[in-house]
Structure 1
Amino acid sequence: MNPEVQEPHPMGGCSGLGPRAWGRILIVLLLACGLFACASSGSPNPSPGMVHVPAGPFTMGSSEEDIQWAAKTFFSESLEYYRDETPAYTVQMAAFEIDQHEVTNAEYRKYLEATNRPAPKYLDNEKFNAPNQPVAGVTWQEANDYCAWTGKRLPTEAEWEKAARGVDGRFYPWGNDPDPTRANARGMKDGHRYPAPVGTFPKGASPYGALDMAGNVWEWTADWYRPYPGNLVKNDLYGNTFRVMRGGSWFSNMDLARSTVRGKLTPDQRQNYIGFRCAR
């Protein structure tokens, strides 16, 4: 009888293993690769009350075409107001988490009770002090201190914008339509004259599930108001005088509620249209 001829095994010296053994090895390798991929990309399971924003690039800011759209849509007479949003550029981001909603009066009251800090200006005003309304009238430092107390921090401008608009360059958290029923902005189409309870507009959620990132209250970010890379438009307000706010408010129109708009105020300001959320 002719001896059985065996083909060389693709794994070389391990050719003595049978098909079942190779099947088990393959399964183990696939599982190991899957676990490694999960560990490499960071956990997609966010902390309670937060949403996960994965690592990767996104387009920050507005192109010339974008600001032309805004000027035409909202009947602006000049493009100068929009120039600080330009140019659009790519930002590489690490993964992070951001609060799903703005910090509420109820949450802020717990902080005041624990720290004996003074209450913000509007916490005794019935138009602004409902437990589930966003806390308003906090300075930048007070917002920063609260986030630190919770083990978090204020989001950077880039983090805030990516959490609001995702990676496809949309104008609003939900898309490109300035729909006044998806956010609490100026006017009564949204049903609220003052800040709405957080989470009132689920159809206005961002691609990652963050809520109220358009309207309700402007939100402090960690950054000073400075020009974007490649922005050559002279602006005497750039520097270390103003902190950036994002998102528009109940007092803003839908133009100011666009995800790329850069509000700015001195960090000591206390206004009934300013609040915040935290990140980490």
Structure 2
Amino acid sequence: MTDPDDLRARVAGELQRARARSALLTDAVGDDDLTRQHSRLMSPLVWDLAHIGNQEEQWLLRRAGGCSPVRADIDDLYDAFRHPRADRPALPLLGPAEARGYVREVRDRVLDALDVMSFDGPPLVTGAFVFGMIVQHEQQHDETMLATHQLRSGPPVLSAPPPPAGSPVTGEVFVQGGQFTMGTDAEPWALDNERPAHVVDVDSFFIDAAPVTNAGYEAFIADGGYDTERWWTPDGWAHRQRAGLSGPMHWGPDGTYTRFGRTAERVPDEPVVHVSWHEASAYAAWAGKRLPSEAEWEKAARWDPATGRSRRYPWGDDEPSPQHANLGQRHLSPAPAGAYPAGSSPLGVHQLIGDVWEWTSSVFTGYPGFRAFPYREYSEVFFGPEYRVLRGGSFGTDASACRGTFRNWDYPIRRQIFAGFRCARDA
């Protein structure tokens, strides 16, 4: 059993780490950029900041802590289900100074509540689950704010060292068919859609040893991939025509890529990023393959053929380190293929965690025995064929919000997210 004082120290550290990142992303720009909507796909950065504080207030102070409200009058403004992103700039939002003051006051009260919080009792507080949920919520919004930075115009304001160099990783890996345990009951901060653990039987398949690279995707474009209807699903072809797609988002026509305000030549062995599910599916068809199912992806990422056990991560059960994966905005780009050999799976599949979210063929739905917790709006309201599952996290995903069981989802047309893919095929 975890010592309560150790758990409090861990929670406090994770809360502080998330808040430091939120501050970095919002302090990097002036008030005009904070309140401007840089894309109708995204909220103004100042909305994200106050929304982070409002969720923290509602869950950690009012529900878990039984405390009186700080600003109950703004709950409606920061309800993501009431106000689509495109409409949020017209709301009477807190200004930058007021938003910063609000999140600071909420955090001070949360730390006071944490000092006396018991982690025994109802499921909401057992193992500090609700704190873990809010840490992950803030880090998820930090990744969203990072995507907003990618969409803003103007001079660069973010910087980070380049990722490590890669080494050649090509070809496919064979994954033996059979049963494995998908999902988890053991992760104390796992979210409802990751539960419960259940046995899945998967046929044998091959999966790419690394994500599809810029060079690989350029070959698809050069071969007329965007002009050949047979590679696309009917919905994908209609969207390609309607949106005028001719290559990944942020690619220039001269072999360049613009990232966070800087334009440079594309790195050939870097995983391709900012492609939709439709584009990924078309590439896979062109290559004579397909996208992996969610179960195939997780088996390749977690299954240890020597023991038959499902690990927490491809490399084992240890928490991610800088040697394992490109996570947490430590770098501002995916790392070249082969850059993290210590993070590969027992089967030799590389970079399943970090670098780019990976599209799968699967629609988003609950596992057998799913129970919504602690509210339906986290997962259940999104179940259905409109959404496709992404796995593995990106260079902008924090380790607290990324596990071998972690599930992300989005519309198949989405390109502003840090998404790429790898292919699979039947054995």
1:57 is the counterpart of 2:166: no
Q: Is 1:168 aligned to residue 309 of structure 2?
A: yes
Deviation at 1:186, TM superposition (A): 1.1
Taking the aligned partners of 1:87 and 1:164, their CA distance within structure 2 comes to 18
Structure 1 contact 172–257 (Cα < 8 Å) conserved: no
Contact 2:192–2:371 (8 Å) recurs in 1: no
In structure 1, what is the equivalent of residue 131 of structure 2? none
The DSSP-based 3-state class of the residue aligned with 1:241 is strand
What is the alpha-carbon distance in structure 2 between the residues aligned to residue 54 and residue 175 of structure 1? 19
Q: Give ranges in structure 1 of 5+ residues lacking alignment.
A: 1-47, 72-78
Deviation at 1:272, TM superposition (A): 5.0
- SS across alignment from 1:236: helix
CA distance in 2, matches of 1:147, 1:238: 25
Question: CA offset at residue 58 of structure 1?
Answer: 0.4
Q: Which residue of 126, 136, 140 corresponds with 2:277?
A: 140
The farther-off stretch of 248-257 and 202-211 is: 248-257
Point out where structure 2 has 5 or more consecutive residues left out of the alignment. 1-169, 227-245
1:184 maps to which residue? Answer: 326
Aligned equivalent of 1:218, options 346, 357, 370: 357
Alpha carbons of structure 1 residues 116 and 90: separation in structure 2 relative to 1, 3 Å? closer
Give per-residue Cα distances to partners, 1:220-264, cap 9 Å, x unaligned: 000111011111324111111211000000000113331110001
Q: Secondary structure at the match of 1:255?
A: helix
The reply to whether residue 112 of structure 1 matches residue 254 of structure 2 is no
Could you state the TM-score of these two structures normalised by the residue count of structure 1? 0.74
* Post-superposition offset of 1:187: 4.2
Q: Is the 8 A contact 1:183 1:214 kept in 2?
A: yes
Q: Deviations over 1:41-83 (max 9, x none)?
A: xxxxxxx7100101111000011x32x1xx2xxxxxxx6xx00
* Partner of residue 122 from structure 1, selected from 229, 232, 250: 250
Q: Is the 8 A contact 1:87 1:230 kept in 2?
A: yes
Name the CA distance, whole Å, in 2 between partners of 1:116 and 1:279.
Answer: 19
Q: Distance in 1 between matches of 2:393 and 2:249?
A: 20
Q: Secondary structure in 2 aligned to 1:251?
A: coil
Partner of 2:6: none
Q: Does 1:92 align with 2:92?
A: no
Measure the CA separation in 1 of the matches of 2:404 and 2:347: 14
Larger Rg belongs to: 1
Q: Which residue of 2 aligns with 1:152?
A: 289
SS state at 1:101 partner: coil
Q: Give the equivalent residue in structure 2 for 1:10.
A: none
Alignment RMSD (CA, Å): 1.5
The alignment's TM-score, normalised by the length of structure 2, stands at 0.49
Distance in structure 2 (CA, Å) of the matches to 1:259 and 1:102: 16
Give distance in 2, aligned partners of 1:256 and 1:51: 27
SS in structure 1 of the partner of residue 401 of structure 2: coil
Task: Choose which of 386, 398, 402 in structure 2 pairs with 1:253.
Answer: 398
TM superposition shift of 1:120: 1.1
- Which residue of structure 2 aligns with residue 102 of structure 1? 211
SS state of the match for residue 162, structure 1?
helix
| Contact 1:122–1:136 (CA under 8 A) maintained in structure 2 | no
Provide the identity percentage. Answer: 42
Higher RCO (C-alpha 8 Å, min separation 6): 1
Higher helix share: 2
Question: Does residue 209 of structure 1 match 2:348?
Answer: yes
1:242 is the counterpart of 2:384: no
Aligned pair count reads: 217
Distance in 2 separating the partners of 1:215 and 1:279: 19
Distance 1:60 1:91 in 2: 6
CA contact (8 A) 2:225 2:286 kept: no
What is residue 22 of structure 1 aligned with on the other side?
A: none
Distance in 2, Cα, partners of 1:120 & 1:274: 10
Q: Which amino acid aligns with 1:183?
A: A
